[in-house]
Amino acid sequence: MASDTFRGRIGMTYKDSQPHWSSSAPPRNAPNVLVILLDDTGFGNLGCYGSMIETPHMDALAANGLRYSNFHVTPLCSPTRASLLTGRNHHAVGIATITTFGDNGYPNQRGRITRHAATLAEMLSEEGFATFALGKWHLNPTEHNSAAGPYEEWPLHRGFDRFYGFLPGATDQFHPELTYDNHPVYPPKTPEDGYHLTEDLVDHAIEFVDDLKSIHPDTPFFMYFATGAMHYPHQAPKAYIDKYRGRFDEGWDVLRERYFERQTELGIIPPGTRLAPPNPGVKPWQDLKPNERKFVCRLQEAWAGFLEHTDAEIGRLVEHFSTMGLLDDTLVILTADNGTSQNGGPYGVMNAGPSGRRNATKSGLTLGEKIGRPEPEEDFDAIQEKLDDIGGPKSNSDIPWGWSQVGNTPLRWYKQDTHGGGVRVPMIVHYPRNIEEPGAVRNQFHYVTDIAPTVLEILEVEPRSNYRGYDQMPIAGTSLAYTFGDGDCATKKPIQHFEMMGKRGLWHDGWKAVSRHEPDEDYDTEEWELFNLDRDFSETNNLAASEPDRLRKMIDMWWVEAGRHGVLPLDDRHGWRRPPGSDTLTYRFVPPMAHVPRAQSPTLGGGTWSLLADIDIGNAATEGVIYAQGSFLDGFSLFIQDGALCLVFNVLGAAITGRSATRLPTGRTTVGLLFERGDDDTGKFTLQVDGRETGSIDIPDVTRMSKMRGVDVGRDQHAPVTDAYRAPFEFTGIIRSVDVRLG
């Protein structure tokens, strides 16, 4: 088999060997394909799956199509996306966990999809389809997200003709780090002008289709539309959030029971299903204090508004297809990448960031509590005056475990887990050509690897044994197209394993064995549970003690499947593994240049560091941003205003400001910052002009400085750090270079 580093056939460059969709004829009367992938949206979150949140457009797709009650994915986003697009299991293609965690040195976690597993876009472009990707990608190494590349794992190099979206695992919905095809771009307007990412994605999706059909009306397309919703930050237009004011005041215990009742009435769960007991660490609603309740309800109101807004935008896209006469000839598949997230912790957060300390454990303690470093709780009394910010451009919120558990009703646990709450998600298929019983529920077990072979079967495309010079590994998935016409038949899926950071599971013949691994604990001594999913939808009746022989057999089968599909070695590390040689200590930025994404920007806060800018000041009116890093939540900006060198240091929206004691000279000069960290998490900034101190600023707490990521040079256009100027406040002089030195 060809190496992944091979760039093409002998005598041909990679570009030469890359076919264009117009060079092949698609199957006659081939439909279009629209795959919609929601983020962090658990089994019970949609209206047609029992939620009280209004999702009329997704519900309409279900009413005219099929809902699946037994559809499963991996417990995390990158692995699900890799499996969806390739039809292979995620370890086998090199994405054991999220690409953010980097390369662990083994084939199952290289942080990129092997070339021996073509994506649907690569397969369909060979068959004459136009291919479009919009929204979240999260399938290339994090260190490759910048304008500098390399681009080989970006969408346009994995079979897509056009891309508009974001490369990392999450982004701000009002200030996204956007990529258009192979270059970064800024949002076309500001939040004050009404910008929201989901609306922007739909605008471009419509534009891509219109561009194609205006010139090539007979060419079918494959569109992969992956929203940023419902990953944190949960942000939406204010009217959508305000609509849900007070609707969750009864609390998560009552709402979870209500969701469960609706699921039973809708027939999306079988009669006799039991509601799983509360997950460890979820406080009874009655135990929360009044201000705690107000805070967590506002977080859930933002979540609900975000979902309904997403539904409205999906409806706008589908309606455009209908207006163009395309909808009846389009296979639409809508699903989610994993269950509702546990990252918000027991209380949720106003300003989220990934933290292992907020992951639930069997005992209900966070990891931080287990090691003696609890995650600081919000000051619920002080935060009351900021409740109206939640869900807007000045927040970065995430919901608590209690609401996440509601979203996963009736199941146990969350995203990252191999129990039902992490891996069982909604799936809707809309395809009028083949669906004979619109509005029905399908109960056959299926998995995310089954989407690709389903698409290929409907399109009558036989996958090739070689794409772009690479021999292909077998497609592991099982087409579920047989369920379109037969609701009562048995599943054709033979077996499916699960694994995520040591958490394991196996489904076979209606039974599921599952083990919830804790980091650093012994795999061999951890408990396995056993459930008969055909009779126990919510995994509440553990039969391990009464069926020891069956459990032992299934554990042995798990190891066989793990060996077959590249799962081993097991790796339970939770965090980014920087590639060798990537610990950069010096940076030189020379504008004009694109925005530097989070992963490529300097990591500050560890100790002493300095910034030195070589600039030309034309006259006394010269002004603007020299260097800005971070955002309005956590960031700093060095700029010239009214002839003075100024600094704003912003932590959780609270700004500390300083100015040089004297006006700056005209002509070529150097300005800079020296940061020194104290032993007690305090710090000091010293402003410098031509090597001389011209002012200083004391910082009482620098512990969040490491969160100040993402750089603009010569402007502050991405999530502007401060309101002290009108963004982007471009520098009107000349910036020759900016040097940042760490350590």
Beta carbons of 156 and 95 less than 8 angstroms apart: no
Q: What is the pLDDT of residues 123-165, one digit of tens each?
A: 999 999 999 999 999 999 888 888 888 999 999 999 999 999 9
Q: What is the pLDDT at residue 13? A: 30
Nearest to 570 by CA among 496, 521, 502, 518: 502
Does 284 score more than 50 pLDDT?
Answer: yes
Residue 2: band (very low, low, confident or very high) from pLDDT cuts 50, 70, 90? very low
Q: Which range is least confidently modeled, 136-145, 266-275, 667-676? A: 136-145
Higher pLDDT, 51 or 6: 51
Separation of alpha carbons 213 and 696, rounded Å: 60
pLDDT attached to residue 582: 53
Q: Tell whether the model's pLDDT for residue 4 goes beyond 60.
A: no
Cβ burial of 68 (10 Å; 0-12, 13-18, 19+) is buried
Report pLDDT for 704: 85
Least confident of 372-376, 465-469, 590-594, 645-649: 372-376
pLDDT of residue 707: 83
pLDDT of residue 9: 26
Q: Is the pLDDT of residue 56 over 60?
A: yes
Residue 141: the pLDDT is 87
* The pLDDT of residue 62 is above 80: yes
pLDDT at 726 over 50: yes
What is the predicted pLDDT for the residue at 102?
77
Q: What percent of the chain has pLDDT over 90?
A: 79
Residue 703: band (very low, low, confident or very high) from pLDDT cuts 50, 70, 90: confident
- The whole-number pLDDT of residue 520 equals 84
Query: Which of 472, 360, 351, 341 is CA-nearest to residue 407?
Result: 341
Mean pLDDT of 572-596: 77
pLDDT at 378 over 50: yes
> What are the structure tokens assigned to 522, written together?
């012994």
Q: Note the pLDDT of residue 146.
A: 87
Concatenated DSSP letters for 390-444? Answer: TTSTT-B-B--HHHHHHHTTT--S-TT-SSHHHHB--EEEE-TTT-SSTTEEE--
How confident is the model at residue 28, as a pLDDT?
77
Q: How far apart are CA 596 and CA 167, in angstroms?
A: 13
* pLDDT, tens digit, 9 for 90 and up, residues 424-463: 999 999 999 999 999 999 999 999 999 999 999 999 999 9
Confidence of residue 68 (pLDDT cuts 50, 70, 90): very high
Question: What confidence tens digit (pLDDT) does each residue in 674-691 have?
Answer: 999 988 889 999 999 999
What is the Cα–Cα distance from 42 to 303, expressed in whole angstroms? Answer: 13
Quick one: pLDDT at residue 575?
Answer: 64
The DSSP bridge partners found for residue 418 are none
The overall average pLDDT reported for the chain is: 91
